[in-house]
Chains A and B, each alone.
Chain A
Amino acid sequence: MLAIEARGLEKRYGGRLGCRPLQALAGVELRVERGAAFGFIGPNGAGKTTFVKALLGIVHPTGGAVRLLEGDPQDPRIRARVGYLPERLRLAPAWTPLEVLESVARMKGLAFDRAAALAVLEEVGIAEAARRRVGAFSKGMKQRVGLAAALVGAPELLLLDEPTDGLDPPARVMVRQLLARRLAAGATLFLNSHLLSETERICDRIGVLVGGRVVREGRLEELTAAPREWTVRFAPGAPAAALAAAGFTAREDGAWRIAADSPAALNAAIDRARAAGALLVELAREGKDLEAVLVEAMAPARGEEVAA
C-alpha cells in the first residue's frame, strides 16, 4: 500500500517570452509505503518544496504523474486525509489558534470539537495561548499552530516542510515525540527538512533529491552504513603484526578496521586474529551521517571525487 507515488514527475518554470526555463523537478521517481517515516533531503534549490507542492496540486506538474494514498491529489476527499505544514506558513493574524483549527476542521468536513482541538494544541505545547491572537505570536509559536492545523482530523499522511524551523531545542524534542506517536498510530510521515540531524532521528527511510532527481533512496541504515567497513576492538596485548597480516588496519584510537565483503569474509578475518591470540571485545559496522550521504550524493552533480 503506497502513501505517495511519483512517476517521472517533472516541473519546469518559465521558458516563455524567450526566458530560460528552470527545471525544478526532472523526472522524480519515488514510492513511499504507508506507515513509513520518510525523510526528503537535498541541497537548497534541489526541488524539495516544489515536489511537496506538486504532490498536493499546489503547483501543476509539467510531466509525469503523482498519486497520494492511492488516489488523485486533486480529489478533495484525498486531501481531506492529508495534513500539510508549508515551509513558510502565514496565518490570519486576527485569528486565535482555536479559530485556525476550527476553520481547518470545517474545510475537512469535520464537526469542530473544541475539546479535541484543545488536546491537539496541548500536544504541540500551545494550549495556554489557545484564545490569543496569532498575530502576536513568535515564529516558533506560529509554527506550533501550523503543526496543530496539520494534525486536525488525525490525517493518514503528514507532509511536513521544515516542521522544526524556528523551534527551540525542547520544542524540537516535543515535535519528535509527537511525530513518533502519530507514526505509532499508523500515520505516514513525509518530512522535508534541511536539518539532517532531525531527519536522521525521526525517519527510517531517506530520499536524496539533487537537481530535481532522486539520486539516493533507501533505509536510513543502508544509506548511512559503509557496508564493507567494520570497526573491531581487541583486548590489550593483541599481536599487532599478526592482525596486520590478517588484513586489519590500526586506527589512531586503538581500534582496528577491517574491510569485508560478506559475513563469511568478516568471520574468517576474525578467526585469523583469534588464532594469533587476539581476544575480540567489540565489533561494529562503520557508518556515516546523513550529511556525508548528502555530500556524497551531490558530488557527481558538482563533478567532484568523493573521499571514501
Chain B
Amino acid sequence: MRRALTVARDLLREARARRWVLALFAATTVLLLVVLLGLRLEVVDGALAATRLFGGLLGGKIQAADVALRPLFQGVAYLVFYGGILFGILSCADFAPTLLAPGRIEHLLSLPLRRAELLLGTFLGVEALVLSGATYGGLGLTLIVWAKTGVFGWAPLAAAVLAAIAFSAIYAAMIACAVAVRSAALSAAAGGLLYLLGILASYRRILTPLFTSGGSGGVFRAITAPIPRFATIADQAAAVGAGKVLDPAALGFQLGGTLLFAAALLSAAIALLERKDF
C-alpha cells in the first residue's frame, strides 16, 4: 500500500505541470473571482434583502437567507458534481497511458512495485486530484457565500465527495481501457460513454417504455442495469442544498453499487495488466 501511495503522490506531482489540469484549476479560480467580486448579497436581520450581480438586481423577494440561498446551493451542487466529473475525464485521461508508455513502464516495473500497486496508485492519485478539484470549486463558492451572508451550505462539499465517488467508476473504466489499448483518446471516450450511460441509467424507468420495437427495451435495461446511477447521486447532492432529509439507505445503496462497479472494473484492469508484456 505504501508503494501505491508513492505512485499516487508522484502522479499528483506530475499533474502540477499538466496544461489541462492547470487550465481547469485556472477556470475554476476565474469563476470564483467573478462570484467574489461581482455578486453582492444584502442580508438584513437574517433575511436576504437583495441580490446583485455586477450591480444588476436579481429578484426582489425578501426571504430568510438560508431559504433564499437553497436554489443557489442546489445549482452549485449540480455544477460541482457534473463539472467535477467532466474535469476528471478531461484532465486525467492521459495519466494511465503515459505511465504505460514504452520506456516509462519498463522503468516502473523494474522497481520493487507490483503491477496491482501501480494501477491502484494511479487510481488513488487521480481520485485525489478530482476530489481536490471539485472541493476547490465547491468549498470556494461555499466560503464566498458564507462570507457574504453568514450562511454555510454543505451541499457543494457533499457534491464534491459524491462526484469523487461517482468518478471512481468512470476512472476505473478509463484505466481498464488504457491498459487494453494505451490511448488517452479512447480512455476519455470510455469515460465519457460511461458518464452518459450513468445519466441515462438514472432515468431507465422513464426511458425504457420509449423502446417499443423488438427487444430493444430489454437490451437497454440489460446494458444500464449494472451502470451506476450518476444523475440519481447528483440529485442527492442537490437535495442537501435544498435542505431535504436524505434517505441514508438509498444513498448508501447507490454509493455502494458505484464503488462495487469501480472495484470490479479495476480488478479487471489489474488482471489484464498482470498478463501483459512490455
Which chain A residues have a beta carbon within 8 Å of chain B's beta carbons? Answer: 13, 53, 56-60, 76-80, 82, 84, 86-95, 99, 103-104, 106-109, 133, 146, 149, 159
Contacts and interface: CB of A to CB of B under 8 A. Distances in A.
A101 to B, nearest CB: 12
B102 A90 contact: yes
B107 A79 contact: no
Given A60-B277, A95-B13, A108 B112 contact: yes
Given A59-B278, A89-B107, A94-B14, A107 B113 contact: yes
Contact of B106 (A53, A92, A106, A108): A53
A146 B102 CA distance: 14
A104 B111 contact: yes
Nearest to B16: A94
A132 to B, nearest CB: 13
Nearest to B109: A58
B272 to A, nearest CB: 13
B59 interface: no
Nearest to B14: A92
B101 interface: yes
Interface string B1-25: 0110010011001101110000000
Given A60-B275, A76-B113, A87-B103, 19 more contacts: A56-B110, A59-B277, A59-B278, A79-B111, A79-B112, A84-B107, A86-B110, A88-B102, A92-B104, A94-B13, A94-B14, A94-B16, A103-B10, A104-B111, A106-B6, A107-B112, A107-B113, A108-B112, A149-B107
B52 interface: no
A82 B104 contact: no
B103 A76 contact: no
B114 interface: yes
A97 B18 CA distance: 18
Contacts of B3: 76, 107
Contacts of A57: 109
A133 B13 CA distance: 13
A107 B107 CA distance: 11
Contacts of B112: 76-80, 107-109
A158 B111 CA distance: 12
Contacts of A103: 6, 10
B110 A79 contact: yes
B180 to A, nearest CB: 16
A133 B16 CA distance: 13
B13 to A, nearest CB: 7
